[in-house]
């Protein structure tokens, strides 16, 4: 038994007060001359013993009342173990929130922080009493209730704790603490404590505290103890991003890109960035990053000859204590010759006068694209699946063709419009997915008109034009006045800011308007140096998939591509080589749990979609939350290290308060004392009310008890006076 206010025990000396009073009263016996002791001797034998016992009992009771009140004031406490031995205990509910986020994979010595946290959790479990119940939650960016309802089965809890596996998810304590709060609100046990076993990463506390530490939290009265594996400052660096100038590369071409390396520690980082394609190193760059700084490391390499339409790669530095974030996964699309369909609206006269003549020539230049040219009528019957782009040259679009074009766009295809004399404003007005609505033709000034790029970084212009090689001036004579839709982008303007090239989207599909004719009816664009690269870029752009640039991190859902075959059985292969089927219309994976490559394949084994998923870069910053800042968020106690935890558990064990029991005991004794004193008083009162009848009773005699003088016998004085 311990006393939280031991100085109050000095007050136990006050017990001497009733004893001294009792002894003084015994000493202050007044000698009283009395007529005869004949009757007193008779009654003494009967009453003296009882009176002595009663007075002694009262004395003992009063001393005990004093003692218990003072003991209660000293706030005695006992350990639960002793309480259990005495037949009582203070049942507790303990919620163990174990952080198994990516950062807990930090390796210190031979063990990870998660291993340390599990050992600490077991130490806490060992400290519990059989009546204490325990719940176990794992915390990363979500909470997993391993034991959602507190149980007294500590063996099961131990097994569950030992089976906790690390994850690559980021840290967000809000979810797990909310669950712990709910558990505490349900429990009926009086002592409640939440242990958060974590590296206490600062990023885990980036949430609105009012959503967790609200009135319900305060009502539960739960105490929060943060248990950290150690008090050391972690050393970590990470590759947090890889960017390529073009995600679409051709075999043998030079690939240029950059990797972002962050140094989260307090020492300089001197490392080597290595780029691998598959298992083959293709580039290495030295990395020097100052403490707490970020560096973008540029690299380039020649893409070797590869099979397939994509190549997987990694950008990594040498592994440190948290290896998961030292590598970034990426994949590159290998350029595949696009399949382009050219629809001519005007096919009368010699071929050179056909609306698609120059388009066909430009696409076929270089020999990598073999365009198919059809008439407007043929478009109504031709299946468009398999084409990456459909270029409409001076075409009137029928309703059937419109449906087919929309389906192409929904599957990720590209539709490009060139106008001409056959183009009807009314016909174009029926096309809902146009990024701009023509309102009427206009004539342009003679000569070449300058072109201004409003979106110079648009993929349409990558590797074609830039600031040093601008889009050349165009000899254009006519064009449409257009109303640009809100979600459309004007990529190029002509002359006096007239929209020239306008890009829009319909789902994953791309829509492009070139506000000019593909033949020479509206000007000499087909003969200008801009025409061939423009047409080539349109074809190449159509071969890119929108999602190639998407940056997925662990915890994200992986969406299916719109052009996935609908009549095939799809399977996704996870980074750990496990496979699982993909449901029609569902996410490829609802939540990516691992960093690495995810590949969607059809029954034949062909890969139809793939993802590179990386760890969340926020998780790489391992600096712990500042204690003062954390205290402002929520009152807590922090313990670091297993040994310190054991000492803390010994010292700060949930001591059972004994003072209420002492106070209750004092009250009970007070009641007993009152009853005994009352009975004695009643006996005395009964004696006082019993009167011996004489000739006449004097009321004065009844009300005034005799108080003999202490100095000399009153009788002698009375006799002497007489």
Partner 1 sequence: MAKIIGISDYLTPEMMRKLDGFMLRSRYVVESMQVGAHASPLKGASVEFTDYRQYVKGDNLRNLDWKVFGRTDRYYIKQFEEETSLRVQVIIDGSGSMGYGSPGQKTKYDYACHVAAALGYIVSKERDSLGVTIYDNEVRHHVPARSGKRHLRVFLEHLAAHEPKNLTDTGLALHALAEMISRRGMIVLISDLFDDPPAVFNALAHFRKKMHDVILLQVLDPVELDLSIDRMAEFIDMETGERLEIDPSSARLAYKQELQKLIDECREKCSVLNVDYRLVSTDQGFEDFVHQYLAERRRMSL
What are the residues binding partner 1 (CB under 8 A)? Answer: 25-26, 28-44, 46-48, 50-51, 54-55, 680, 683-684, 686-688, 690-698, 700-702, 704-709, 713-715, 718-719, 722
- Helix axis angle for 357-364 and 531-543, nearest 10°, is 70
Cβ 51 to partner 1, closest distance in Å? 4
DSSP notation for 499-547:
EEEEEEEETTEEEEEEEEESSSSSBSGGGSTTHHHHHHHHHHHHHS-GG
Question: Quick check: 453 and 470 in contact, CB under 8 A?
Answer: yes
Residue pair 600/571 in contact (Cβ under 8 Å)? The answer is: yes
CB 62 within 8 A of CB 15: no
Closest separation in Å from C-beta 9 to partner 1: 33
- Least distance from C-beta 28 to partner 1, angstroms? 7
Measured from the CB of residue 709, what is the shortest distance to partner 1 in angstroms? 7
- Residue 673 beta carbon to partner 1: minimum distance, rounded to whole angstroms: 17
Kindly state the smallest distance separating residue 676's Cβ from partner 1, in Å. Answer: 13
Question: What is the phi-psi region of residue 307: left when phi exceeds 0, alpha when psi lies from -120 to 50, beta otherwise?
Answer: beta
Nearer to partner 1, 30 or 231 (CB): 30
Strands 498-506, 489-494: pairing kind? antiparallel
Q: Which of 612, 640, 413 is nearest to 507 (CA)?
A: 413
Judged by CB, which is closer to partner 1: 411, or 714?
Answer: 714
Cβ closest to partner 1, residue 59 vs residue 337: 59
Let me know: does 706 contact 34? Beta carbons within 8 Å: no
Q: Whose CA is closest to 600, among 553, 554, 549, 547?
A: 547
**Residue whose tokens read 């009771």:** 61
Helix (H, G, I), strand (E, B) or coil at 556: coil
Q: How far is the CB of 20 from partner 1 (least distance, A)?
A: 16
User: Which CB sits closer to partner 1, 47 or 159?
Assistant: 47
Residue placing its CB nearer to partner 1 in the complex, 31 or 109: 31
Determine the Cα–Cα distance for residues 451 and 492; give it in Å rounded to an integer: 6
Helix or strand (DSSP H, E) at 142: none
Residue 165 or residue 690: which is nearer to partner 1 going by CB? 690
* Cβ-based nearer residue to partner 1, 50 or 591: 50
By beta-carbon proximity to partner 1, the closer residue of 26 and 486 is 26
Buried b (16+ CB within 10 A) or exposed e, 266-287: eeebebebbbbbeeeebbebeb
Side by side, the strands of the sheet bearing 76-78 are 2-3, 76-78, 656-657
Closest distance to partner 1 from the beta carbon of 61 (Å): 17
Shortest Cβ 41–partner 1 spacing (Å): 6
Residue whose CB is less far from partner 1, 163 or 686: 686
Identify which of residues 17 and 697 has a Cβ nearer to partner 1 in the complex: 697
Name the token pair of 451: 């072109």
- How far is 432 from 199, CA to CA, in rounded Å? 55
**Shortest distance, position 18 Cβ to partner 1, whole Å:** 16
Residue 529 has phi, psi (to 5 degrees) of -65, -10
Q: Cβ closer to partner 1: 585 or 705?
A: 705
Query: How near is the Cβ of 708 to partner 1 at its closest, in Å?
Result: 6
Which CB sits closer to partner 1, 39 or 185? 39
Minimum distance from residue 16 beta carbon to partner 1 (Å): 21
Nearest-approach distance from CB 678 to partner 1, in angstroms: 14
Phi and psi angles of residue 9, each rounded to the nearest 5 degrees, phi first: -65, -20
Q: Are 616 and 322 in contact (CB under 8 A)?
A: no
- Which helix (DSSP H) or strand (DSSP E) does residue 601 occupy? strand 596-601
Q: Which of 418, 376, 372 is nearest to 397 (CA)?
A: 376
Cβ proximity to partner 1, 13 vs 702, nearer residue: 702
Between 62 and 621, whose beta carbon lies closer to partner 1? 62
Taking the complex as a whole, the smallest distance from the CB of residue 186 to partner 1 amounts, in Å, to 59
Alpha carbon separation from 175 to 138, 207, 213, 382 (Å, rounded): 10, 10, 12, 54
**With b meaning 16 or more CB within 10 Å and e meaning fewer, what string describes 542-579?**
bbbbebbeeebbbbbebebbbbbeeeeebbbbbbeeee
Assign 701 to helix, strand or coil. Answer: helix
| Cα(605)–Cα(379) distance, integer angstroms | 33
């Amino acid at each position: 038994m311990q006393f939280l206010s031991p100085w109050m025990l000095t007050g136990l000396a006050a017990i001497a007060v009733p004893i001294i009073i009792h002894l003084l009263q015994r000493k202050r016996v007044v000698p009283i001359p009395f007529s005869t002791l004949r009757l007193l001797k008779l009654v003494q034998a009967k009453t003296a013993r009882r009176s002595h016992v009663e007075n002694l009992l009262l004395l003992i009771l009063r001393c005990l009342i004093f003692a218990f009140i003072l003991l209660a004031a000293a706030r005695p406490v006992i350990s639960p173990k002793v309480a259990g031995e005495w037949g009582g205990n203070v049942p507790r509910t303990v919620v163990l929130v174990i952080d198994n986020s990516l950062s807990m994979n930090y390796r210190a010595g031979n063990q990870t922080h998660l291993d340390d946290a599990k050992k600490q959790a077991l130490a806490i479990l060992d400290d519990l009493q059989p009546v204490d119940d325990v719940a176990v939650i794992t915390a990363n960016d979500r909470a997993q209730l391993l034991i959602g309802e507190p149980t007294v089965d500590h063996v099961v809890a131990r097994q569950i704790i030992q089976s906790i596996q690390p994850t690559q998810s980021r840290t967000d304590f809000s979810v797990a603490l909310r669950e712990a709060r709910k558990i505490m609100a349900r429990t009926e046990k009086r002592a409640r404590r939440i242990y958060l076993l974590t590296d206490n990463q600062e990023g885990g506390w980036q949430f609105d505290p009012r959503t967790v530490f609200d009135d319900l939290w305060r009502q539960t009265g739960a105490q929060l103890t943060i248990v950290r594996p150690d008090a050391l400052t972690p050393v970590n660096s990470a590759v947090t991003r890889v960017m390529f100038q073009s995600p679409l590369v051709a075999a043998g071409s030079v690939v240029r890109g950059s990797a972002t390396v962050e140094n989260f520690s307090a020492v300089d980082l001197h490392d080597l960035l290595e780029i691998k394609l598959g298992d083959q190193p293709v580039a290495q760059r030295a990395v020097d990053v100052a403490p707490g700084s970020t560096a973008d490391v540029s690299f380039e390499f020649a893409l070797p000859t590869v099979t397939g339409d994509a190549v997987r790669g990694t950008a990594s530095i040498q592994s440190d204590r948290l290896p998961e974030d030292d590598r970034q996964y990426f994949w590159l699309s290998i350029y595949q010759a696009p399949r382009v369909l050219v629809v001519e609206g005007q096919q009368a006269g010699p071929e050179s006068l056909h609306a698609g003549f120059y388009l066909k020539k430009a696409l076929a230049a270089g020999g990598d694209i073999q365009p198919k040219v059809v008439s407007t009528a043929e478009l109504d019957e031709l299946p468009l699946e398999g084409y990456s782009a459909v270029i409409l040259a001076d075409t009137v679009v029928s309703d059937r063709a419109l449906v087919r074009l929309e389906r192409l766009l929904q599957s990720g295809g590209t539709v490009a419009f060139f106008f001409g004399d056959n183009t009807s404003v009314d016909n174009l007005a029926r096309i809902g997915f146009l990024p701009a609505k023509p309102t009427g033709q206009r004539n342009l000034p003679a000569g070449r008109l300058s072109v201004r790029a409003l979106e110079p970084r648009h993929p349409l212009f990558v590797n074609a034009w830039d600031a040093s090689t601008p889009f050349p001036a165009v000899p254009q004579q006519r064009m449409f006045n257009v109303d640009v839709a809100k979600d459309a982008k004007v990529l190029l303007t002509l002359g006096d800011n007239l929209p020239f090239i306008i890009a829009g989207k319909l789902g994953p599909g791309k829509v492009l308007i070139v506000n000019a004719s593909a033949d020479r009816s509206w000007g000499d664009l087909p003969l200008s140096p801009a025409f061939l690269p423009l047409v080539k870029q349109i074809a190449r752009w159509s071969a890119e998939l929108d999602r190639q640039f998407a940056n997925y991190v662990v915890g994200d859902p992986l969406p299916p591509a719109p052009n996935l075959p609908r009549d095939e059985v799809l399977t996704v292969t996870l980074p750990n080589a496990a496979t699982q089927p993909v449901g029609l219309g569902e996410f490829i994976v609802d939540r990516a749990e691992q960093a690495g490559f995810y590949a969607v394949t059809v029954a034949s084994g062909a890969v139809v979609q793939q993802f590179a998923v990386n760890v969340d870069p926020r998780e790489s910053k391992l600096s712990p939350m500042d204690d003062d800042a954390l205290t402002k968020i929520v009152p807590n106690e922090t313990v670091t290290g297993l040994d310190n935890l054991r000492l803390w558990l010994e010292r700060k064990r949930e001591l059972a308060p004994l003072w209420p029991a002492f106070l209750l005991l004092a009250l009970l004794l007070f009641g007993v004392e009152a009853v005994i004193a009352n009975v004695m008083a009643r006996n005395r009162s009964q004696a006082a009310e019993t009167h011996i009848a004489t000739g006449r009773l004097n009321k004065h005699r009844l009300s005034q008890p005799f108080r003999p003088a202490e100095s000399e016998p009153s009788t002698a004085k009375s006799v002497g006076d007489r």
